[in-house]
């Protein structure tokens, strides 16, 4: 265990999983569990639940499960040590460094320091007399020197070693530049500057630390943009450009733009809530990041086909949250930067005020693909519009947009509503079929969800699961249970690992709980543990009878397979001993 067990026990004791998960998921109580829509995959019917008494969560849909720390790892995109530090900070505890931590912490500190120094180097290069044409590039794009300084814009010289040499003089090794994504290695092993002859955009996290860079050419050469690769300090799917600034906005909405220049131009024009994804399509992690800072989002992508297609994909992701989504249409201009240059900030602000809801935008986008003056085209439009409207959960909202679609195609609202009801019926039947299939596949499956944990003997493993459930229901039973069966007698390796660790925890005086296995089990093993123990409440009133049945099943399976007991005891003799123990305990 990387962190001291006593520290983790104290941390978990201070963290109420219902409170922590409730910050991310809207939960409703049902019996002893709280259900909600899983934040880690798209679903319409909640298969995600929290069990407060065991301080655990599990999703029957995607299989993710664990305790508070596992939840935070997924919700915030953190490693286990970082999740520990994150929650420790939340509850006012000081996370101790572990034996492995000092080295890794030092490495991260060096990479962050190196990235900061690289940003300074690029920024200084921008203002050198010989690079005046580069600074003029930004000035010609309408950026002020104040804005350029605020975003730390810079220039990577047209050299294979300018940054390497400058950073080496400061004491950084070539391998560190490789680790930070600032250098690349050729097939022949030559290390050289990754960014050359590009204007540079430092990527800064919410803590104000430089973690990566985006570089853009100033001509038509390819690739137009070059971004830092994934590193120990940079995960592009978990960060947003300019979020460090946007999170301080007083606006009640965020603007989601496509590129660095759009975001910078928007900030300069007074729209300080603009952010952008980092060289890739919007991700679920980025959507969760946005939803933690605002309840409203205005999509302001480029007006070309690619931008509009990206807007459609963004809508699908953003609608998984409770975010209010609007889409801004830019008339007669390619992007926000160009529009603001031509029309000004006030005109752009009016576009925001007139921005459409995501449903209106979808209808307009569908209508643009058809000639609504032609009868056959109108029919095709109405069929597609009905399928889109059937995806709106709110009945009132669905009716409003059905009326709009009817008006666009010049048909009666009654005719449109009939078509929508038909599409809605088809959609609901498909959803029910999919839900039943998913429930059967996940809950009724004899094998673990993750096939790498496959049971060799399903019947024995089910009995072993029962023993695990007894232990987690009441860890005071461990002494008696461990006197009658050992981990080595388990046929399923993952269950054997869980049982053995539970015994270790108990003998060391620690509580056996799901949270006690975080940082010890692999992610797939943790998910399986919560699947095993996360079902209905276990009745321990007749635990001895249940345990006897489980042990009989395990021994029966062992006899059928002809396997010898790990202790060397003959299976028949062991069965006889088990029955004698049952008689001694009163036929339990």
What is the CATH classification number for the domain harbouring 185?
Answer: 3.90.980.10
Residue 82 is predicted with a pLDDT of 83
Residue 268 is predicted with a pLDDT of 97
Across 175-179, 311-315, 328-332, the highest mean pLDDT is recorded for: 175-179
With bands split at pLDDT 50, 70 and 90, how would you rate the model's confidence at 155?
Answer: very high
Residue 140 is predicted with a pLDDT of 93
Mean pLDDT of the chain: 86
Please give the Cα distance from 359 to 325 (Å, whole number): 9
Kindly state whether residues 143 and 254 are assigned to the same domain.
Answer: yes
Kindly state whether residues 131 and 215 are assigned to the same domain.
Answer: yes
Please give the Cα distance from 66 to 50 (Å, whole number): 10
Kindly state whether residues 419 and 272 are assigned to the same domain.
Answer: no
Q: Is 41 left (phi over 0), alpha (psi -120 to 50) or beta?
A: beta
Checking if the pLDDT of 129 tops 50, the result is: yes
Identify the burial level of 572 via C-beta atoms within 10 angstroms of its C-beta, where 0-12 means exposed, 13-18 middle and 19 or more buried.
Answer: exposed
3-state secondary structure of 380: helix
Residue 74 is predicted with a pLDDT of 85
Kindly state whether residues 172 and 138 are assigned to the same domain.
Answer: yes
Residue 565 is predicted with a pLDDT of 46
Checking if the pLDDT of 571 tops 90, the result is: no
Q: Compute the average pLDDT of residues 472-500.
A: 91
Give pLDDT tens digits for 397-419: 899 999 999 999 999 999 999 99
Give pLDDT tens digits for 185-241: 999 999 999 999 999 999 998 878 999 999 999 888 888 899 999 998 998 888 899
| DSSP code per residue over 118-187 | HHHHHHHHHTSGGGHHHHHHHHHTT--HHHHHHTT-EEE-S-SSHHHHHHHHTT--HHHHHHTTSEEE-T
Contact call for residues 66 and 527 (beta carbons, < 8 A)? yes
Higher pLDDT: 585 or 140? It is 140
Partners of residue 415 on adjacent β-strands: none
Kindly state whether residues 174 and 220 are assigned to the same domain.
Answer: yes
With bands split at pLDDT 50, 70 and 90, how would you rate the model's confidence at 560?
Answer: confident
Provide the whole-model pTM: 0.63
Checking if the pLDDT of 568 tops 50, the result is: no
Domain extent for 75: 5-90
Residue 276 is predicted with a pLDDT of 94
Identify the burial level of 54 via C-beta atoms within 10 angstroms of its C-beta, where 0-12 means exposed, 13-18 middle and 19 or more buried.
Answer: buried
Give pLDDT tens digits for 268-302: 999 999 999 887 788 887 887 888 788 899 999 98
Residue 176 is predicted with a pLDDT of 96
Among 26-40, 165-179, 573-587, the least confident range: 573-587
Partners of residue 66 on adjacent β-strands: 57
What is the CATH classification number for the domain harbouring 480?
Answer: 1.10.860.10
**Residue 410, CA distances (Å) to 153, 372, 414 in order:** 52, 9, 12
3-state secondary structure of 51: strand
Checking if the pLDDT of 439 tops 60, the result is: no
- Counted residue by residue, the chain has a size of 588
- The two structure tokens encoding residue 131: 């690079």
Kindly state whether residues 66 and 33 are assigned to the same domain.
Answer: yes
DSSP letter at 539 equals -
Contact call for residues 465 and 472 (beta carbons, < 8 A)? no
Domain-located, residue 99: no
Contact call for residues 147 and 264 (beta carbons, < 8 A)? yes
Residue 99 is predicted with a pLDDT of 47
User: Based on the structure, what is the number of domains in the chain?
Assistant: 4
Kindly state whether residues 198 and 215 are assigned to the same domain.
Answer: yes
Residues 6+ apart with CB under 8 A from 63: 442, 449, 450, 527, 531
3-state secondary structure of 319: coil
Give pLDDT tens digits for 47-73: 899 988 888 999 988 888 999 999 998
Measured in degrees and rounded to the nearest 5, phi and psi for residue 184 equal -125, 165
What is the CATH classification number for the domain harbouring 57?
Answer: 3.90.580.10
Domain-located, residue 355: no
Alpha carbon 70 to chain centroid, angstroms:
12
**What whole-number percentage of the chain has pLDDT above 70?**
91
* First CA to last CA distance, the chain: 37
Kindly state whether residues 66 and 137 are assigned to the same domain.
Answer: no
Instruction: Round the CA-based radius of gyration of the chain to a whole number and report it.
Output: 30
Kindly state whether residues 205 and 240 are assigned to the same domain.
Answer: yes
Domain finish residue from 63, 90, 117: 90
């Amino acid at each position: 265990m990387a962190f001291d067990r006593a520290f983790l026990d104290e941390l978990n004791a201070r963290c109420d999983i219902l409170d922590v998960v409730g910050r991310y998921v809207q939960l409703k109580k049902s019996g002893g569990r709280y259900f909600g829509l899983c934040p880690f995959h798209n679903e319409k019917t909640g298969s995600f639940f929290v069990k407060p008494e065991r301080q655990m969560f599990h999703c029957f849909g995607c299989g993710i499960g664990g305790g508070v720390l596992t939840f935070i790892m997924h919700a915030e995109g953190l490693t286990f040590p970082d999740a520990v530090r994150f929650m420790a900070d939340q509850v006012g505890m000081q996370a101790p460094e572990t034996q492995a931590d000092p080295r890794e912490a030092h490495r991260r500190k060096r990479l962050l320091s190196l990235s900061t120094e690289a940003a300074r180097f690029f920024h200084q290069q921008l203002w050198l007399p010989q690079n005046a044409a580069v600074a003029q590039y930004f000035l010609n794009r309408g950026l002020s020197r104040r804005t350029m300084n605020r975003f730390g814009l810079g220039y990577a010289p047209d050299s294979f070693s300018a940054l390497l040499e400058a950073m080496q003089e400061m004491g950084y090794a070539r391998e560190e530049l490789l680790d930070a994504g600032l250098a690349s290695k050729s097939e022949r092993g030559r290390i050289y500057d990754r960014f050359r002859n590009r204007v540079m955009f430092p990527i800064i996290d919410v803590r104000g630390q430089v973690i990566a860079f985006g570089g853009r050419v100033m001509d038509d050469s390819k690739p137009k943009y070059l971004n830092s690769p994934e590193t120990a300090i940079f995960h592009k799917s978990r960060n947003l450009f300019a979020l460090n600034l946007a999170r301080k906005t007083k606006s009640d909405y965020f603007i989601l733009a496509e590129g660095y220049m759009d975001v910078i131009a928007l900030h300069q024009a007074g729209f300080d809530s603009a952010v952008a994804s980092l060289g890739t399509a919007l991700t679920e992690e980025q959507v969760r990041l946005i939803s933690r800072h605002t309840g409203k989002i205005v999509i302001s992508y480029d007006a070309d086909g690619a931008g509009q297609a990206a807007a459609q994909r963004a809508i699908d992701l953003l609608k998984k949250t409770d975010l209010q989504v609007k889409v801004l249409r830019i008339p007669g201009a390619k992007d926000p930067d160009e529009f603001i240059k031509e029309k000004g900030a006030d005109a752009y602000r009016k576009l925001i005020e007139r921005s459409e809801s995501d449903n209106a935008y979808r209808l307009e986008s569908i209508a643009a693909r058809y000639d609504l003056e032609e009868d056959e085209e109108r029919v095709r439009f109405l069929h597609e519009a009905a399928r889109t409207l059937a995806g709106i959960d709110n009945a009132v909202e669905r009716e409003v947009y059905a009326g709009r679609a009817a008006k666009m195609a010049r048909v009666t609202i009654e005719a449109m509503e009939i078509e929508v009801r038909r599409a809605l019926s088809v959609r609901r039947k498909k959803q029910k079929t999919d839900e039943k299939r998913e429930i059967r596949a996940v809950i009724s499956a004899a094998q673990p969800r993750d096939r790498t944990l496959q049971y060799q003997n399903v019947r024995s493993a089910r009995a072993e699961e029962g023993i695990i459930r007894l232990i987690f229901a009441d860890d005071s039973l461990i002494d008696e249970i461990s006197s009658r069966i050992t981990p080595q007698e388990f046929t399923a390796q993952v269950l054997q690992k869980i049982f053995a660790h539970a015994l270790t925890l108990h003998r060391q005086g620690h509580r056996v709980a799901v949270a006690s296995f975080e940082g010890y089990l692999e992610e797939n093993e943790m998910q399986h543990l919560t699947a095993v123990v996360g079902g209905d409440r276990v009745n321990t009133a007749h635990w001895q009878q249940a345990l006897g049945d489980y042990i009989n099943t395990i021994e029966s399976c062992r006899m059928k397979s002809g396997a010898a007991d790990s202790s060397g005891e003959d299976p028949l003799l062991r069965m006889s001993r088990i029955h004698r123990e049952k008689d001694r305990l009163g036929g339990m």
